[in-house]
Structure 1
Amino acid sequence: MLTSKVAKRYAQGLLDFTNESGQTDAVFSEMKDVVKIMSESADLNKFFLTPYIDANKKTEVASEIFKSFSLVSQNLIKLIIKHGRENQLKNVAQQFINKVEDIKGVQRITLTTATQISNENIEQILRSTDLVNQNAQFDLEVNVNPAILGGYILRVGDQQVDASVKSKLNKIKKDFQLN
């Protein structure tokens, strides 16, 4: 997923500010809530993306939705809306989460399988590779994609192990075409 420079800059600014004020953990939790709320509410996304609704109305609605948040998070959300970047709110929150997790050494792992698999199989896959640091914390996202036909695709950070049936069939196909 491509993330805009805007989201990265806002997230870095927020991280710098929260590190100085010692509020990183509280804001981290709130940014997780922002991502969750924005992911689950299509209506809120439509509202924020509607160009003919002015920034003051959007700020009022955001203030009401996020009223339980700290002043730092509320001010960030207001600033984003004031500058017309409300379409980047979820991305800013996700980038902040990623930056804090990077500092804490949390690995982001994505496992894609053709069908739903058990937790025991997931653990076995994670133990079978050197990419996963068994002593570190990790954030695991499991996706189901029937298009890979079988096997799995494991992505840890910027490295990937493709043990899917589809990629193996494509490799065989290329080998036949070359010979």
Structure 2
Amino acid sequence: MSQSIIAKRYADALFQLGKEKSKLEQFESELQILRDVYRSNKEINTFLKHPRFSIEQKKKLVGDSFQSFSVEIVNTLKLIVERHREDIIVDMIDDYIEMLNDAKGIANADVYSVRELSEAEKQRISETFAPKVGKQSLNLTNIVDPSILGGLRLRVGNRIFDGSVSGKLRRIERQLVSANNR
């Protein structure tokens, strides 16, 4: 079974548990902290994967390191360690956050622009495009890309809204080429 399917299953189980216990937001904030720790501290991953340390030592490290977290999160981590699936932790967290955002009507989107956008501009873009993709709001990641020349390009999932100058020039070029071929 692929790692991504396994990560989704753990994320789904945590999501259902969070819903039952009304802890969805608490789980999200704890998982975001865990993701930051896991990405910034490579030694924890090395320790958790090392064959010389027993499962009990690894579970103790998880319990001691994340004792301020909810019992459900700590037990999930211990279960992941017990089953030697340390590689799925970041994917599981990403899947959980995606499920939570989907439940809230929020989508992640990349907006490409020539310069860094202000918060007000991001808010207007979110308000304009969220209804077009059937969401209540968008979490925007601004990517500065001078090659678009001007305007914006927005990517939400597999949908792209291209209002960039370079995109318009490409469309004009295609029209001219197709008109010459007739």
**One fold, TM greater than 0.5?**
yes
Q: Which moved more, 1:21-30 or 1:69-78?
A: 21-30
Instruction: Give the Cα–Cα distance (whole angstroms) in 1 for the partners of residues 33 and 67 of structure 2.
Output: 12
Instruction: Give the Cα–Cα distance (whole angstroms) in 1 for the partners of residues 175 and 51 of structure 2.
Output: 56
Q: Which has more radius of gyration?
A: 2
Alpha-carbon offset, residue 71 of structure 1: 0.8
1:7 and 2:7 equivalent?
yes
Paired letter, 2:46: F
Alpha-carbon offset, residue 48 of structure 1: 6.1
In structure 1, runs of 5+ residues without a counterpart are: none
SS at match of 1:139: strand
- The question of whether the paired residues in 2 share the 8 Å contact of 1:111 and 1:140 is answered with yes
SS at match of 1:69: coil
Paired letter, 2:162: D
1:32 maps to 32
Aligned-CA RMSD value = 3.1
The 3 A distance-change label for structure 1 pair 169 and 64 is: farther
Instruction: Give the Cα–Cα distance (whole angstroms) in 1 for the partners of residues 141 and 150 of structure 2.
Output: 18
User: How many percent identity over aligned positions?
Assistant: 28
Instruction: Give the Cα–Cα distance (whole angstroms) in 1 for the partners of residues 31 and 147 of structure 2.
Output: 33
Instruction: Give the Cα–Cα distance (whole angstroms) in 2 for the partners of residues 164 and 46 of structure 1.
Output: 42
SS at match of 2:111: strand
The 3 A distance-change label for structure 1 pair 84 and 124 is: same
1:131 maps to 132
Instruction: Give the Cα–Cα distance (whole angstroms) in 2 for the partners of residues 22 and 124 of structure 1.
Output: 31
In structure 2, runs of 5+ residues without a counterpart are: none
For this pair of structures, how many residues does the alignment match? 175
SS at match of 1:131: helix
Instruction: Give the Cα–Cα distance (whole angstroms) in 1 for the partners of residues 167 and 122 of structure 2.
Output: 20
Matches within 5 A, 1:19-168: 19-39=19-39, 41-44=40-43, 47=46, 52=51, 54=53, 56=55, 57-129=57-129, 131=132, 136-168=136-168
